[in-house]
Amino acid sequence: MLTTKQHELLVFIDKHLRETGCSPSFEEMKAALDLRSKSGIHRLITALEERGFLKRHKHRARALEVVRLSEDLAPPTRGASRFAPNVIQGNFSGKLPGVRAANEAGAVSLPLYGKIAAGLPIEALRDEAEQVEVPMAMLGQGEHFALRVEGDSMIEAGILDGDIVIIRKGETAETGQIIVALVDESEVTLKRLRRRGNSIALEPANIRYETKIYPAERVRVQGRLAALLRQY
């Protein structure tokens, strides 16, 4: 049986994973549970891991996996993912070419539609001949495309150089979600979205990079992070 705080943390981590595709930071967990120190979060995570509710993946930043939920937790539902802008040139509006139907293995081929810089501007490579196989269980409703990450500006969100991010196409996103943003109709970036009045902040997940703030009319959401693929 879980304590109240253990239960609250497990719920928060599960919700964050389903909405963002990555585990929350210690700072986010501390704020969500209204704790004063990160050591308290560490003790809760250790307790959940010992009881078989959580699993930590070594050598991966912020890599938590919910193994099972407490019996008194509602069954998980698929949510939208967060996403933040880093820069790539291009516009992903319109119907995405190259998407094929699911195969017998329960996977779908998505076009690896380009590269996205996690930190520095880079031209999008629209090589629609290259495909990536994605398990259908990782995808929800809507249209998706894949982008390869270059750079390290999102490493604290668990998004590393060389990762392939699966983006759910769309023009809306909530603050805190990781998105693909088109800036000034010329640069596309992967960052976390923060709304500040009439401005939009594109927030990296690496202290080496600065958050960039733009008037809302200069930023257009092109999709939200739905899943992440990594090869070893």
Could you give the domains of the chain? Answer: 4-66 (1.10.10.10), 88-229 (2.10.109.10)
List C-alpha distances in Å: 116 to 55, 92, 111, 210. Answer: 30, 12, 14, 18
pLDDT, tens only, 92-132? 455 554 444 444 447 788 877 767 756 544 344 455 557 88
pTM: 0.54
The single-letter DSSP state of residue 42 is H
The residues annotated as belonging to the active site are: 153, 191
pLDDT, tens only, 22-43? 888 888 888 888 887 777 888 8
Residue 76: how many other CB atoms lie within 10 Å: 12
- Exposure of 163 in the CB half-sphere (CA atoms within 13 A): 24
Q: Which helix (H) or strand (E) holds 31?
A: helix 26-33
- Check residue 61 and give its pLDDT: 55
- Check residue 202 and give its pLDDT: 94
Residues of the chain with pLDDT > 90, as a percent, come to 16
Q: What share of the chain is helix, strand, coil (3-state, %, to 5)?
A: 20, 30, 50
pLDDT, tens only, 128-174? 557 888 887 777 778 888 888 888 889 989 999 888 998 888 889 99
CA 87 centroid distance within chain: 16
